[in-house]
Amino acid sequence: MNNDIERVLFSQEDIQEACRRLGAQISRDYEGKKPVVVGVLKGAILFMVDLIKEMDIMTEVDFLDVSSYHGGVASTGSITLNREIETDISGRHVIIVEDIIDTGLTLQYMLNYLNAHHVASAKVCTLLDKPEGRKVTAKADYVGFNVPNEFVVGYGLDYQEFYRNLPYVGVLKPDVYSE
């Protein structure tokens, strides 16, 4: 698995440090507010687990499952909703946790979803932001790292459902997906 990685972008330590920084920032911003933290399956699983441990506030946790890459290296452009949020989020402060914002299509879909559910506020925390990938305007409120316009895997991010369990984020060798 590690042999398929061209180069490591962010080590386990880099990611841990980003989780501490973002967790502290969110804790300050949401002091006394009891937000609902919503992880976007499946990509956000590892980041969600590490991030919430760094949040020193009362918070609920839930998940939303949307997908559009279906294992490939490019967005299909159509978002499938596989699982809804179970918590009643109307009137609540919601923080979406994402692994990456690339084209922005998933984030745009999720913000529409939250608006339709009449949340009090919606903010987005993403581990990775790929600004050059954007097809629609989309902006995260909390960002771990910017990444170049290359396909990255690891720490939740997959190629054909694999590599999610790598403890770091790296660039996948192009010959792995062009074979």
Tally of CB atoms within 10 A around 123: 17
Cβ count within 10 A of residue 80:
11
Q: Which is nearer to ligand HPA, 117 or 164 (CB)?
A: 164
- 158 near Mg ion (CB under 5 A): yes
**One of 35, 39, 104, 144 touching ligand PRP (CB under 6 A):** 104
Residues forming contacts to ligand HPA in the complex (CB under 6 A) are 69, 100, 102, 151-153, 157
Start-to-end Cα distance in the chain: 16
Give dist(CA 96, CA 106) in Å, integer. 11
Instruction: Give the active site residue among 50, 99, 102, 129.
Output: 102
Q: Which stretch binds ligand PRP (CB under 6 A): 3-11, 24-32, 84-92, 100-108?
A: 100-108
- The gap from C-alpha 123 to its chain's centroid, in whole angstroms, comes to 12
Least distance between ligand HPA and beta carbon 52 (Å) = 22
Calculate ∠ Cα 14-103-69, nearest 5°: 90
62 catalytic? Reply is: no
- Interacting partner of 151 out of Mg ion, ligand HPA, ligand PRP, none (Cβ under 5 to 8 A depending on kind): ligand HPA
Choice from 68, 150, 171, 173 touching ligand PRP (CB under 6 A): 68
Burial label for 49, CB within 10 Å (0-12, 13-18, 19+), is middle
Nearest residue (CB) to ligand PRP, 43 versus 170: 43
Tokens of 142: 């909390």
23 binds ligand PRP (CB under 6 A): no
**Nearest residue to 1 (alpha-carbon basis) of 117, 170, 179:** 170
Give the binding site for ligand PRP (CB under 6 A).
Answer: 40-43, 67-69, 75, 98-107, 158
Residues with a catalytic annotation lie at 102
